Amino acid sequence: MSEGLDRLAATLGVPTTRLAPLEAYDDEQLRRFDDLTQGAMRAEDEAFDASLNQALRMVPKMLRGVVQRMLGGAR
Amino acid sequence: MTALTSSLEITKLAHEMHVDEADLAFLAASSPDDLRELRGIVSHAMFSRHESRVKGLAAVSTKLPAPVVAKITELAMGPMLSARVAAVMDPVDAAKLAGHLKPQFLAELSVHLDPSRVKGIVAKLDQAVVVDIGRRLLAAGHVLTLARFTGVVSPEVSLQVLEGASGAEILQVAVFLDDPSVLDPILADLSDETLAAVVAATADHGEAADALLAALSAENRARIAALA
């Protein structure tokens, strides 16, 4: 297994063997795909946090702490 | 045919990752099955990142009145986060909440949904609402989303959504179906005139249309041959 495949597997949280069909691609291509995947995850994280914070602002202040605890410490 | 269906799978993967499909063009050497598997892995990885907080939100939503949750959902959470929450909600609660959301918001939310995760919710929604959402998706050009949902709604609903659609629109939805066999009962109930329009549109889709036609039942292929 290549370094590029190991890195992509770590990003996707799967054993490298699950990505065996991608073995045909070189490290540069796999790195590019990994960058795109990480970029997609970052964009989604940001959108997720923004939406969640906006939703929390609509929860009455006295309940906000309880809700935040239920959400596992959302900002 | 394989290169072409790989290209369709790349379009679906790009949609899942919100990236330009040209960025994934190098994956064209992979088989459609391998790309479908990769899409599943990517989808699961994206979904799991926020799973505990999403489940927390779903739990909170059951503690508040549905109209209040609906207001927070539309005004603050937005379609992407709402889609994530819907995917982990109890179908009964989710269907109840959906009844308080505007159809346009539900359509926007659908674009971010993985239909396989919300089959139970779709089954509990009023059929007229599902048809309304489908028609909004079609009007907005979300043929890929519509194709993914075609696999989880009845042929009757699909036919109502596609009522009045052009042959080219129907064909666009059809080529993106994960399982082309769901198309057979839909095509069987299309009028000769509409089916002829779909067949005429295949001229612009070359191999994609050939692949699709090859996957149809013998009865549908015979009917299409008679119309061509």
Q: Are residues B112 and B141 in the same domain?
A: no
In this prediction, residue B1 carries a pLDDT of: 45
Residue A59: predicted pLDDT: 79
Per-residue pLDDT at B81 exceeds 70 = yes
Q: Which residue of B has its CA nearest to A74?
A: B53
8 Å CB contact between B66 and B37: no
Reported as a single tens digit per residue, the pLDDT across B144-163 is 999 999 989 999 999 999 99
Which tens digit of pLDDT belongs to each residue from B86-136? Answer: 999 999 999 999 999 999 999 999 999 988 889 999 999 999 999 999 999
Q: Give the number of domains in chain A.
A: 1
Question: Does residue A75 sit within a domain?
Answer: no
B4 pLDDT band, cuts 50/70/90, is: low
CB contact under 8 A, A12 and B41: yes
Q: Are residues B42 and B69 in the same domain?
A: no
* Comparison of pLDDT for B140 and B203, the residue scoring more: B140
In this structure, the answer to whether residues B133 and B179 fall within a common structural domain is yes
Instruction: For residue range B63-80, list pLDDT tens digits in order.
Output: 888 888 898 899 888 899
Answer yes or no: do B77 and A18 touch at CB < 8 A. no
Contacts of A6 (CB under 8 A, 6+ apart): A16
Q: Is B22 in CB contact (< 8 Å) with chain A?
A: no
Q: In this model, does residue B178 exceed pLDDT 90?
A: no
- Residue B202's region, left for phi above 0, alpha for psi from -120 to 50, else beta, is alpha
Rounded-to-integer distance, Cα B121 and Cα A72, Å:
26
Contact B59 A25 (CB under 8 A): no
Q: Please, which residues 6-25 of chain A have a Cβ atom closer than 8 Å to chain B? A: 11-14, 18-19, 21-22, 24-25
Q: Say what the pLDDT of residue A75 is.
A: 47
Spatial contact of B173 and B162, defined as CB atoms under 8 Å apart: yes
Residue B54 included in any domain? no
Which residue segment(s) compose the domain that A19 sits in?
A: 3-70
Q: Are residues B92 and B156 in the same domain?
A: no
Other CB atoms closer than 10 Å to residue A73's CB: what's the count? 9
CA-CA-CA-CA torsion sign (B87, B88, B92, B94) = negative
d(CA B9, CA B122): 24
Of B104, B125, B146, which residue constitutes the final position of a domain? B125
CB-CB neighbors (< 8 A) of B34 in chain A = 21-22
In this structure, what token pair is assigned to residue B214? 């090859």
Chain A contact for B37, CB < 8 A? yes
Residues B43 and B70 in one domain: no
Position B209, amino acid: A
Query: What ipTM was assigned to the predicted interfaces of this complex?
Result: 0.86
pLDDT per position as a tens digit, A7-65? 999 999 999 999 999 999 999 999 999 999 999 999 999 988 898 888 888 877 877 78
B73 secondary structure, DSSP code: I
Q: From B83, which residue of chain A is nearest by alpha-carbon distance?
A: A48
Neighboring chain A residues of B72 at a CB cutoff of 8 Å:
55, 58-59
Distance CA B57, CA B35 (A): 32
* B81 and B135 belong to one structural domain: no
- Given this model, what pLDDT does residue B65 score? 86
Domain-ending residue, one of B125, B141, B174: B125
How confident is the model over B164-170, as a mean pLDDT? 92
- List the one residue out of B4, B21, B84 whose CA is nearest residue B48: B84
Provide, rounded to the nearest whole percent, the portion of chain B with pLDDT above 70: 96
